[in-house]
């Protein structure tokens, strides 16, 4: 009888251990290398909380030490921030700000499905880089931010997060000459912990 109870306690312990860690694993960054360039993450639509782009001759990448994406809706504008590292050490944020339909909950982000934003057009879009606590508004030559797919992730019959997957690229005037961020891709799981509405 004691053996059965002990076995039951062990099984219950492992059940709770596995399922308590499952939700945490949805917040981690998972890096799956791209087939053509192993230094970039592959484009995925699984909510791997990963992003990457070539920045000139370097790479801007998500890191497990930094929350890779935060989104805020404020006064008719959506602020989409990718936070990571460049040269695998220096922290950097790439912030896209653009007009968007009123939303009040992270689940409303499904409206971004297949939305492409021309970053060079005079449509109220602003792109900033924040590095070493210095915020720079970029003088965009051309570029795009394309939310290719948005989907709800349902766990145990409840909406757990919205998965935002897409691509981005831009050219801008840097230190007197054009600079380039190319081959950008992102795959983010967004819930209330990284979404804010004012």
Calculate mean pLDDT across residues 82-99: 94
Calculate mean pLDDT across residues 107-124: 94
What span, in angstroms and rounded, lies between the C-alpha atoms of 197 and 7? 47
What span, in angstroms and rounded, lies between the C-alpha atoms of 101 and 198? 14
Give the per-residue pLDDT at 12: 35
Helix H or strand E encompassing 182 = strand 178-190
Give the per-residue pLDDT at 158: 93
Q: Is 28 in a helix, a strand, or coil?
A: coil
78 has which bridge partners? 73, 98
Q: What's the DSSP call for residue 42?
A: P
Calculate mean pLDDT across residues 183-189: 98
Looking at every residue in the chain, the average pLDDT score rounds to 89
- Which has the higher per-residue pLDDT, 8 or 183? 183
Q: What's the DSSP call for residue 41?
A: B
Give the per-residue pLDDT at 175: 82
Q: How do residues 133-169 score in pLDDT, each as one tens digit?
A: 999 999 999 999 999 999 999 999 999 999 999 999 9
Calculate mean pLDDT across residues 7-31: 54
What span, in angstroms and rounded, lies between the C-alpha atoms of 161 and 151? 9
What span, in angstroms and rounded, lies between the C-alpha atoms of 149 and 182? 19
CA neighbours within 13 Å on the CB side: how many for 175?
A: 1
Confidence (pTM): 0.86
Q: How do residues 62-77 score in pLDDT, each as one tens digit?
A: 999 999 999 999 999 9
Residues 161/189, Cβ–Cβ less than 8 Å: yes
CB burial of 49-58 (b: ≥16 within 10 Å; e: otherwise) equals bbbbbbbeee
């Amino acid at each position: 009888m004691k053996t059965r109870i002990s076995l039951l306690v062990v099984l219950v312990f492992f059940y709770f251990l596995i399922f308590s860690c499952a939700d945490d694993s949805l917040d981690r960054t998972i890096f799956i290398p791209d087939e053509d360039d192993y230094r970039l993450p592959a484009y995925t639509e699984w909510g791997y909380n990963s992003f990457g782009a070539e920045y000139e001759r370097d790479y801007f990448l998500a890191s497990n030490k930094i929350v890779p994406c935060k989104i805020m809706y404020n006064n008719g504008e959506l602020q989409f921030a990718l936070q990571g590292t460049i040269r695998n050490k220096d922290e950097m944020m790439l912030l896209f700000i653009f007009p968007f339909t009123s939303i009040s909950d992270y689940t409303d982000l499904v409206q971004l499905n297949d939305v492409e934003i021309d970053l060079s057009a005079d449509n109220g879009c602003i792109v900033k880089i924040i590095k070493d606590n210095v915020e720079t508004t970029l003088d965009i030559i051309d570029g795009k931010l394309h939310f290719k797919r948005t989907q709800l992730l349902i766990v145990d019959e409840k909406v757990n997060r919205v998965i935002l997957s897409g691509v981005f690229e831009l050219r801008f005037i840097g230190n007197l000459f054009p600079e380039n961020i190319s081959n950008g891709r992102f795959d983010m799981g967004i819930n209330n912990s990284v979404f804010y509405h004012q």
